[in-house]
Amino acid sequence: MTRHGADFAMAEPASADTPVVSFQGVGMRYGRAPEVLRDIDLTLTQGSFHFLTGPSGAGKSSLLKLIYLAHQPSRGLIRLFGQEAATLPRAALPALRRRMGVVFQEYRLLDHLTVFDNAALPLRVAGGRFDEYRQDVIELLAWVGLGHKISAMPATLSGGEKQRLAVARAVVGKPDLLLVDEPTGNVDQEMGRRILRLLKELNRMGSTVLVASHDVALVEESGSPILTLKGGRLGGPQDGPLP
Amino acid sequence: MSFDPRTAETAIERPAPLFPRQFQQDRTLGLVIGVLCFLACLCAVAALASDRAASGWRRELGASATVQVRPKAGETPSEAADRAAEALAGAKGVAEARALDREAAERLLEPWLGKGNIPDDLPLPRLVVVDLDRQHPADAAALNQALSAAGVDASVDDHGRWIADVRRTGDIARAAALGALLLFAMTAGAVIAFATRATLQTQRDVVEVLHLAGAQDRFVVKLVRRRFAILAGQAGLFGAATAAALAALMKLFGGENGLTPVLPLAWIDLLAVLPCPLLAAAVAAIAVRRAAMSILKAA
């Protein structure tokens, strides 16, 4: 399995000292509404593992959106892999995005594609050859417990299976930065732990991981540093358990 | 349920298209492109046939000339015509010259005056028909020179005016056919651009997921372009085949000249439909690229 896509050479390799994600005084708003995120200062170093917590509506998903370049900040400076995101031309964004894996809260699976094709999507987009990635994807799907459903369509999957598929798609390219939005929302405790172990494993392999979750048990169990969003402002990081 | 990797591998033989197929839209679009290609092919075949007809007419007109003889005092019209024919027959670039007698001149007027309605004492211009050498035809000046040398008072009509008219008509027909082909291509391009917009609009979620997975705009464009180029190529093949079949039927059952003397079809004209599928695919590819890039950049 390739770690990066075909044109990753465009992006600077992040050295150990270069933060993978760096926010300075970042704000974000939707349209003309008041800011949902205010004065966010955040640094994620390479190989770190953080939880992002906060009550519903605190802005966890919005913060992730800023990181995976789905939304522009209303102010402040965002640097990703050492590059200032706001000044990057549109053509440079895909190379950065290919260094990230994202598990969306609402999964965002493609309903017309099979489980296999959904999971393989990042590799395909990165120019991977089917013959080269087929075996890796099948093994990954087996690992997340979907080996028997590789030809199934997402509409036939349960919520938990969809979640596992979304995780598989996010990690298939072994991304440098993994953003996970509520990974255990629809899975049982055992599968939740399994997903967490997968995330930890990827973290050990060098991926920087940020997990947005309000699953207190999961967060406390992990013992990883916690960033807390409240009223659009960021607190922490603190080493668990939650206050 | 147990997992067998070998079974899983055989279940996945090739990647599925990243854009969902839209059978209804594709069928309608294919039909429209097919009809446009059919009309474009008929237009091309008709243009070739009319060009051939015009060339034939030009060749016929250019291969002969008509001389109107005015008799001198004391000379009968027949004598003057015979003298002119004799003078012209020996001129360089003339294959044959023959004087028309009065009966032949009357036959030429019959369509306008009716048979038997021409009084015997009506003075008729006497004509000499000159067949020119096909390889090196004499021009009007050479004919006039031969007539002057023989002391014949006559005016030469080398059909230049008619040839110019036929040439102009041929040029207009060719330009009209080319214009029609361009119009068909532009219409096809516009239809495909519209379909591209509709596809990107209805598949916005797919496009967004592809972008978030790191797809370049050109990757997305390539997906749409490939799909519509194949569709247009298939529709072009259908349109071209239908037009060729119709033209072949015209040739087979339309009589000696293919359809009419005005449109003398030849079998080789049917080859004009061959580039159609390729051109249709190329037009689709260009239209998709332009439309999709502008939409994606504006998004």
Of A34-38, A126-130, B146-150, B279-283, the range with the highest mean pLDDT is: B279-283
Share of chain A above pLDDT 70, in %: 89
Q: What is the pLDDT of residues B264-278, one digit of tens each?
A: 888 888 999 999 999
Nearest by CB to residue B214, choosing from A70, A94, A150, is A94
The whole-number average pLDDT for the span A82-94 is 87
**Integer Cα distance of A79 and A156 in angstroms:** 40
Q: What pLDDT, on the 0 to 100 scale, is given for residue A191?
A: 77
Range of lowest pLDDT (A72-86, B4-18, B207-221): B4-18
Strand A225-230: give its sheet, edge to edge.
Answer: A100-103, A177-181, A208-212, A49-53, A225-230, A233-239
Instruction: Report the residue from B8, B214, B217 with minimal CB separation from A122.
Output: B214
Residue of B nearest to A65 (CA): B212
Q: How far is A129 from chain B (nearest CA, A)?
A: 10
Average pLDDT over residues A22-29: 93
Q: pLDDT at residue A8 above 50?
A: no
- pLDDT score of B4: 62
Confidence of residue B11 (pLDDT cuts 50, 70, 90): low
Tokens of A149: 């459903």
Half-sphere exposure of A18 (CA within 13 A, CB side): 12
> B227 Cβ partners below 8 Å, 6+ apart?
B17, B19
- Domain boundaries along the sequence of chain B: 20-58+164-298, 64-136
Closest CA to B138 of B54, B62, B61, B57: B62
User: Which class in CATH covers the domain with range A48-69+97-226?
Assistant: alpha beta
Residue with tokens 């021009």: B139
| Inter-chain CB proximity B214 and A5 less than 8 Å | yes
Q: What is the pLDDT of residue B38?
A: 96
Statement: residue A241 has pLDDT above 50: no
> Which three-class secondary structure state does DSSP give residue B269?
helix
Confidence of residue A13 (pLDDT cuts 50, 70, 90): very low
pLDDT category of residue B181 using cuts at 50, 70 and 90: very high
Flag whether pLDDT at B153 surpasses 60.
yes
Q: What is the ipTM of this complex?
A: 0.83
Beta-bridge mates of residue A219: none
The structure tokens listed for A8 are 């990753």
Q: Rounded CA gap, A164 and A152, in Å?
A: 14
Binary contact (B11, A121; C-beta < 8 A):
no
DSSP for B102-134, written as a single string: HHHHHHHHHHHH-TT-S-TTS---EEEEEEEPS
B208 chain-A contacts, CB cut-off 8 A: 108
Q: What local confidence, expressed as pLDDT, does residue A109 receive?
A: 95
Arithmetic mean of pLDDT, A56-61:
86
CA of A242, closest CA in chain B: separation in Å?
Answer: 32
Q: What is the pLDDT of residue A12?
A: 45
Predicted local distance difference test score (pLDDT) of residue A179: 95
CA A57/CA A30 separation, integer angstroms: 13
The rounded mean pLDDT for chain B is 87
Give me the phi and psi of A177, to 5 degrees please: -130, 125
In the 8-state DSSP scheme, what is residue B16? P
- Residues of B within 8 A of A117 (CB-CB) are 15-16, 18
Query: What pLDDT, on a 0 to 100 scale, did the predictor assign at position A1?
Result: 40
The pLDDT of residue A2 is 38
Which of B14, B212, B219 minimises the CB distance to A102? B212
Residues B208, B257 contacting (CB under 8 angstroms): no
With CA atoms as reference, the chain A residue closest to B18 would be A113
Q: How many CA atoms lie within 13 A of B233 on its CB side?
A: 10
Residues in B 196-225 with any Cβ partner in A closer than 8 A: 205-206, 208-217, 219
pLDDT in tens, A190-201: 777 878 888 888
